[in-house]
């Protein structure tokens, strides 16, 4: 078997042969008249009329039988066979095609619609042109790229050769555009907020830090899609906003977590989390139907139906039932005892009430299929949500529970500046004690609240929802996941 270097050298010779014939192997313009999809859709009419057409695409296979040559072309819209016959076209053009065209090249084919004796729809070739000479081969159409690291590193080939991976590209687009259209139709305004921030806000996460040379200051890559900025827009009198944008969290890699990914956040004035739950069910059902054509999914070992009645899980009661702990009246020593008794790994040095209770909850969460809403979370676990009308020790927040994980979060937004200041100060104390995932105190946001913000509902979901609905690891459903550079 020839090495990659030998294959490349052979293709370089073919490139030179084209150039010797005065042919540019990389012309700027194509004379294509039809996509392959259009050519196939109109095939019967084209075959009857004998209309000359020009199609273009990548050569995916090539085979010859003396004076006959067949190749399959793919242009991203469809695939069709090109049929070349030596005595039906210019002899030099036929010979040059066989001498210079390889699998992987982009070519232009002129000809007419033609059905072969075996009934295959084809284009009967009268002429051709090189559009882009490939210098490296593409993988075998059957075997593809088997090594996972290599698949991600050469994702463009993985997408080209694997229909299932190519399907992810299109479904991702439908997923995000369904969300966008849903909000636009409800009179939301799409906005863009800063990615570089002086203070990270809107989530509990470890940020990336970089240096701004012009201002000579350290700044953070945002960890939420503009939560505090969008709430400042509520202060500014813009009642409905959303952003679909990239966020960055300097944390671990897993099947559910990446460091840079796409997230939606939206904010709606004069609404609360009860209204938000109804809107969330509507949105998730629409996403499922528009993107996948169904509301029923198999995710991990769970069967999930978005059209059924959604469950409601009470955080206080769930922890009580599973650990006999009252999260509103307990001590850190009691929490730690339960962590030990249940075999939950934790960092003893940085353990606090917030992290301990959260670890206990996550063990239970894995057993819940959903779809459902987790409600009645203690105030100390959520620094940005309004206190509950029924119990001021809890907040008006819900999380979407799906297949043992959290797939979205919304709450009645805290708009009391005094309460917000106190919660920020508590979070800052946790950071000072070593919890680098606690939220930073953003006193400029508190100042904005002091000018007055209307009651509002806010919600966020990330592309992790898409990966769950695909039933794949989140890295698999990103187009180009981050990889370490190769050492070679």
* CATH of residue 254: 3.30.930.10
Question: In which residue are the tokens 């500046």 written?
Answer: 417
- Whether 144 is covered by a domain: the verdict is no
pLDDT band at 57 (very low <50, low <70, confident <90, very high): very high
Residue 318, pLDDT > 80, answer yes
Which two tokens mark 254?
């897993």
* Integer Cα distance of 259 and 180 in angstroms: 23
* Integer Cα distance of 308 and 286 in angstroms: 14
- Whether 272 is covered by a domain: the verdict is yes
Which two tokens mark 137?
């081969």
Q: Are 307 and 295 in contact (CB under 8 A)?
A: yes
Strand partners, 220: 197, 209
* Structure confidence at residue 158 (pLDDT): 92
DSSP 8-class letter at 475: G
Question: In which residue are the tokens 């001021």 written?
Answer: 392
* Integer Cα distance of 422 and 294 in angstroms: 45
DSSP H or E segment with residue 132: strand 121-132
Render pLDDT for 447-471 as a digit per residue (tens, 0 to 9): 999 999 999 999 999 999 999 999 9
pLDDT band at 77 (very low <50, low <70, confident <90, very high): very high
Which two tokens mark 467?
């990966």
Among 7-16, 232-241, 436-445, the range scoring the smallest mean pLDDT is: 436-445
pLDDT band at 2 (very low <50, low <70, confident <90, very high): confident
* Integer Cα distance of 153 and 318 in angstroms: 43
* Integer Cα distance of 4 and 473 in angstroms: 32
Whether cis (ω within 30° of 0) applies to the bond prior to 305 is no
Residue 142, pLDDT > 60, answer no
- Whether 139 is covered by a domain: the verdict is no
* Structure confidence at residue 143 (pLDDT): 56
Residue (of 207, 185, 68) closest to 125 by Cα position: 68
Please give the average per-residue pLDDT across 182-186, as a whole number.
Answer: 98
Q: What is the mean pLDDT of the chain?
A: 93
Residues 90 and 194 in one domain: no
Which of 132, 149, 175 is the C-terminal boundary of a domain?
132
Residues 114 and 236 in one domain: no
Neighbours of 442 (CB within 10 A): 20
pTM of the model: 0.89
Residue 174, pLDDT > 70, answer yes
* Structure confidence at residue 141 (pLDDT): 60
Share of the chain above pLDDT 90, in %: 82
Residues 55 and 182 in one domain: no
* Integer Cα distance of 391 and 369 in angstroms: 27
Residue 66, pLDDT > 90, answer no
Residue (of 45, 385, 62, 358) closest to 227 by Cα position: 385
Residues 177 and 46 in one domain: no
* Integer Cα distance of 483 and 32 in angstroms: 37
Residues 387 and 283 in one domain: yes
Residue 202, pLDDT > 70, answer no
Residues 176 and 290 in one domain: yes
* Structure confidence at residue 43 (pLDDT): 97
Q: If DSSP codes are grouped into helix, strand and coil, which group holds residue 436?
A: coil
Residue 439, pLDDT > 80, answer no
pLDDT band at 199 (very low <50, low <70, confident <90, very high): confident
Residues 125 and 163 in one domain: no
- DSSP string covering 370-400, please? -SEEEE-EEGGG-TTBPBPSS-TTEESEEEE
Which of 97, 132, 167 is the C-terminal boundary of a domain?
132
pLDDT band at 147 (very low <50, low <70, confident <90, very high): confident
DSSP 8-class letter at 199: S
- Whether 81 is covered by a domain: the verdict is yes
Strands 372-375 and 311-314: parallel
Residues 306 and 404 in one domain: yes
* Integer Cα distance of 182 and 283 in angstroms: 7
Which two tokens mark 366?
């894995």
Question: What is the CATH classification number for the domain harbouring 120?
Answer: 2.40.50.140
Render pLDDT for 211-220 as a digit per residue (tens, 0 to 9): 999 999 999 9
Residues 119 and 198 in one domain: no
Three-class HEC string of 272-287: CHHHHHHHHHHHHHHH
Residue 160, pLDDT > 70, answer yes
Which two tokens mark 197?
């921030």
Residues 163 and 123 in one domain: no
- Whether 345 is covered by a domain: the verdict is no
* Integer Cα distance of 303 and 402 in angstroms: 10
How many domains does the chain divide into? Answer: 2
Residue 44, pLDDT > 90, answer yes
- Whether 432 is covered by a domain: the verdict is yes
Residues 124 and 177 in one domain: no
Residue 384, pLDDT > 90, answer no
- Whether 320 is covered by a domain: the verdict is no
56: containing domain: 4-132
Which two tokens mark 163?
């229909």
- Whether 43 is covered by a domain: the verdict is yes
Residue 488, pLDDT > 80, answer no
Share of the chain above pLDDT 70, in %: 98
* Integer Cα distance of 267 and 454 in angstroms: 11
* Structure confidence at residue 95 (pLDDT): 95
Residue 72, pLDDT > 80, answer yes
Residues 19 and 120 in one domain: yes
Residue 262, pLDDT > 80, answer yes
């Amino acid at each position: 078997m020839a090495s990659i270097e030998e294959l490349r050298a052979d293709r370089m010779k073919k490139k030179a042969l084209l150039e010797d014939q005065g042919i540019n192997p990389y012309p700027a313009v194509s004379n294509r008249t039809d996509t392959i999809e259009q050519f196939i859709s109109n095939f019967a009419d084209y075959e009857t009329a004998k209309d000359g057409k020009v199609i273009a695409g990548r050569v995916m296979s090539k085979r010859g039988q003396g004076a006959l040559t067949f190749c399959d072309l793919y242009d991203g819209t469809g695939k069709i066979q090109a049929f070349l016959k030596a005595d039906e076209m210019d002899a030099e053009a036929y010979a040059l095609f066989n001498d210079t065209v390889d699998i992987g090249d982009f070519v232009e084919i002129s000809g007419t619609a033609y059905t072969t004796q075996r009934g295959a729809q084809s284009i009967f070739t009268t002429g051709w042109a090189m559009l882009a000479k490939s210098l490296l081969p593409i993988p075998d159409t059957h075997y593809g790229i088997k090594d996972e690291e290599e698949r991600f590193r050469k994702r463009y080939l993985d997408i080209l050769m694997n229909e299932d991976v190519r399907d992810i590209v299109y479904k991702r687009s439908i997923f995000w555009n369904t969300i966008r259209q849903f909000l636009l139709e409800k009179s939301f305004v799409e906005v863009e907020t800063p990615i570089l921030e002086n203070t990270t806000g809107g989530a509990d996460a470890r940020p990336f830090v970089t240096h701004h040379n012009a201002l000579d200051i350290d700044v953070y890559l945002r960890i939420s899609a503009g939560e505090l900025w969008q709430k400042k827009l509520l202060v500014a009198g813009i009642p409905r906003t959303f952003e679909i944008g990239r966020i960055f969290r300097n944390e671990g890699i897993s099947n559910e977590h990446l460091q840079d990914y796409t997230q939606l956040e939206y904010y709606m004035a004069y609404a609360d989390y009860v209204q938000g739950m109804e809107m969330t069910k509507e949105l998730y059902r629409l996403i499922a139907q528009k993107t996948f054509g169904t509301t029923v999914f198999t995710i991990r070992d769970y069967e999930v139906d978005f059209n059924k009645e959604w469950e409601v899980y009470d955080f206080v009661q769930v922890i009580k039932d599973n650990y006999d702990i009252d999260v509103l009246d307990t001590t850190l020593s009691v929490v730690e005892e339960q962590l030990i008794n249940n075999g939950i790994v934790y960092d003893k040095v940085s353990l606090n009430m917030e992290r301990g209770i959260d670890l206990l909850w996550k063990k239970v969460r894995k057993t819940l299929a959903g779809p459902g809403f987790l409600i009645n979370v203690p105030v100390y676990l959520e620094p940005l949500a309004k206190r509950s009308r029924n119990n001021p020790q809890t907040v008006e927040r819900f999380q979407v529970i799906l297949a043992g994980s959290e797939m979205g979060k919304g709450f009645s937004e805290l708009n009391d500046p005094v309460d917000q200041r106190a919660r920020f100060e508590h979070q800052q104390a946790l950071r000072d004690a070593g919890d680098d995932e606690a939220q930073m105190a953003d006193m400029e946001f508190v100042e904005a609240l002091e000018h007055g913000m209307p009651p509002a509902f806010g919600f966020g979901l990330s592309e992790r929802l898409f990966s769950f609905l695909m039933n794949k690891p989140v890295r698999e459903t990103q187009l180009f996941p981050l990889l370490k550079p190769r050492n070679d």
